[in-house]
Chain A
Amino acid sequence: MASQPAITDIEQLKDRPEMAVLLAWNAAAITGAKFDRNELTIWVDRIALRDACITLKNHAQLQYNALADITCVDWYPREPRFEVVYQLFSIPNKKYLRLKVELSGDDASVDSLTPIWPGANFFEREVFDLFGVRFDQHPNLTRIMMPDDWEGHPLRKDYPVEGYR
């Protein structure tokens, strides 16, 4: 039933335009890649995330000019624990690309993308609210879904799902 197995080897994927551009820009910042079910995922070092997005956005052919989504996955108890997931969309090419940043549990912070896409504002606030991941240089990093005096971050896997709060 399962389709093609996932390709996770950077060497095999380096001919894909997105990979080629990012590898030519800064090969050290690319920590992994996966091509699975027709979707390309690229792991980027957290320090390089914002520059990687600018590179993809301003590239003459790729033109990933829209940000579709930001979310996070908690792989507790594995470390690095958090994976922040960015879905970029190229309006001229009608193509999606997924970028991921791995963050450890005790220092979960990454650069905000609001300087590039102001629309990242709400998405990042949501991830901060529900996962406790901090976004540096975000204009207003406050809770968005939960009340301001709420304790804990509900979508973390170690958040209690029953009993009294």
Chain B
Amino acid sequence: MAHMTPTPVLDPSQDKTMILNMGPQHPSTHGVLRLLLEVDGETIVRIMPDIGYLHTGIEKTCEAKFYQQVVPMTDRIDYLCPMTNNLAYCLAVEKLLGIEIPPRAQWMRVMLNELTRINSHLVWLGTHAMDIGAMTVFLYCFREREDVLRLFEAVSGQRMMTSYFRIGGLALEPPLGFFDQVKKFLDRFPGNIDEYENLLTNNPIWVNRTKGVAYLSGDDAIALCATGPTLRGSGVDVDLRRDLPYSGYENFKFKVPVSTDGDVYARYMVRVLELRESQKIAMQALEGMPEGRVKADAPKVVLPDREKMKTQMEALIYHFKIVTEGFTVPEGEVYMPIESPRGEMGYYVVSDGTAKPYRVHMRSPSFANLQSLRKMCEGRLIADVVAAIGSIDIVLGDCDR
């Protein structure tokens, strides 16, 4: 975070370029991103992102918590896709522990993850369109997002910081009638996507503002560590859900949208198509939802059912021990990458055999993807910077952690 230092001093002998400050309080920087733009007239010569305004030291905080207490911390990293972060962390610790998750919990996780992706992409689409000047889309997107948040509230009691996944499964059985609500939403959602597309996909203003803007080639995207739709928009076909399936994704049929154009429009199309695919995956999960428990059979790790705790001595003891002392995790280290709406969300967890993680590191997609901004914007106009930021879909909480 360079906000303590004055803006960089340019060579006084030149009078061509000037420094323009953008952010951190700027409506189009999606949070508190600060950009220093060196401009020559309207053209960008150099772009210097300045981040760290939301750094809260989550990685350090995790080291002082029990394994199960870290789950609520992970929500707060990327507040638009809390379930994805929960899942990545839970999968990492489950891999360290070596426990099996029952199919119903896995299916629920997949379904909720796809709903989270829909939620995140809707916020992205709304704000991105509004940045470029299309106000209506924002209202439509937030209308559907509200429905998704209601579903989250029904299942976890929270709209945003859900903390619904637990190490070893889920916190609770979903409530009665929840699947009907999800079905109702998923049934009408494809029609809603058509609405957004009617407003944007062939809209000449939208196309002029996005086609050919902020070009990023596939090789540059790989070299700059971009992942997710930013990478797929540049023609590199990587999706960890399909390539390295986790949490039962190998049982679902879906396409991975890829576009070779590498511009803002390509990234827009990739995400809109992903919305459709997410709807299909969530539908498959809903239709094939297995019966059974939502918690793994690991009494030392998973909290016992309320009923058992009140009637069985053993369950009460386990409950007491997990809550007061935590559970120990065998020594080792795990890197668990999953496909978040923004790209590769990787959790690197190191255990020293105690009840608290020795180190938790989050490889966050926004942080890595932000590096592409420079390549996208240099030599282009200031007005295109806003389109480029929107097309990377950064969340500053995810970026700064």
Contacts from A to B (Cβ < 8 Å): 1-3, 6, 36-37, 39, 41, 65-69, 71, 73-74, 85, 87, 91, 94, 96, 98, 117-123, 126, 130, 142-149, 154-155, 159, 161
Contact = CB atoms under 8 A, between A and B. Distances in A.
The 3 nearest A-B residue pairs measured at CB: A119-B225, A69-B363, A119-B224
B333 A119 contact: no
Contacts of B361: 69, 71
B238 interface: yes
Nearest to A119: B225
Nearest to A87: B335
A6 B400 CA distance: 34
A149 B5 CA distance: 9
A120 B368 CA distance: 9
Nearest to A67: B225
7 contacts: A2-B98, A6-B332, A37-B98, A91-B238, A120-B225, A147-B1, A147-B3
Given A2-B97, A146-B52, A148-B2, 12 more contacts: A41-B333, A71-B363, A87-B346, A91-B236, A94-B238, A94-B244, A117-B224, A126-B367, A144-B52, A146-B55, A154-B60, A155-B59
Contact of A145 (B55, B330, B358): B55
A77 B354 CA distance: 17
A36 B96 CA distance: 10
A1 B1 contact: no
Given A117-B225, A147-B3, A149-B4, A98 B335 contact: yes
Contact of B368 (A94, A123, A155, A159): A123
Contact of B60 (A41, A69, A123, A155): A155
B98 to A, nearest CB: 4
B337 A96 contact: yes
A94 B371 contact: no
Contacts of A37: 95-96, 98, 332, 334
B223 A118 contact: yes
A41 B367 CA distance: 24
Nearest to B332: A36
A117 B298 CA distance: 42
Contacts of A98: 335
B348 to A, nearest CB: 6
A118 B98 contact: no
A154 to B, nearest CB: 6
B226 interface: yes
Contact of B330 (A2, A126, A149): A2
Contacts of B52: 143-147
A91 B223 CA distance: 12
Contacts of B333: 36, 39, 41
**Which one of B4, B99, B361, B367 has the greatest number of beta carbons of chain A within 10 Å?**
B361
A2 B300 CA distance: 13
B368 A147 contact: no
B243 interface: yes
Contact of A85 (B57, B344, B348): B348
B71 interface: no
Contacts of B205: none
Contacts of A144: 1, 51-52
A14 B96 CA distance: 24
**Which one of A41, A148, A149 has the greatest number of beta carbons of chain B within 10 Å?**
A148
A65 B238 CA distance: 13
Contacts of A2: 97-98, 330
B98 A1 contact: yes
B294 interface: no
B371 A118 contact: yes
Contacts of B332: 6, 36-37
Interface string B322-351: 000000001011110100000010101010
Contacts of B371: 118-119, 121-122
Contacts of B5: 148
A69 B400 contact: no
A120 B223 CA distance: 9
A66 B1 contact: no
Contacts of B367: 122, 126
B355 to A, nearest CB: 15
A18 to B, nearest CB: 15
Interface string B21-50: 000000000000000000000000000000
B141 to A, nearest CB: 29
B64 interface: yes
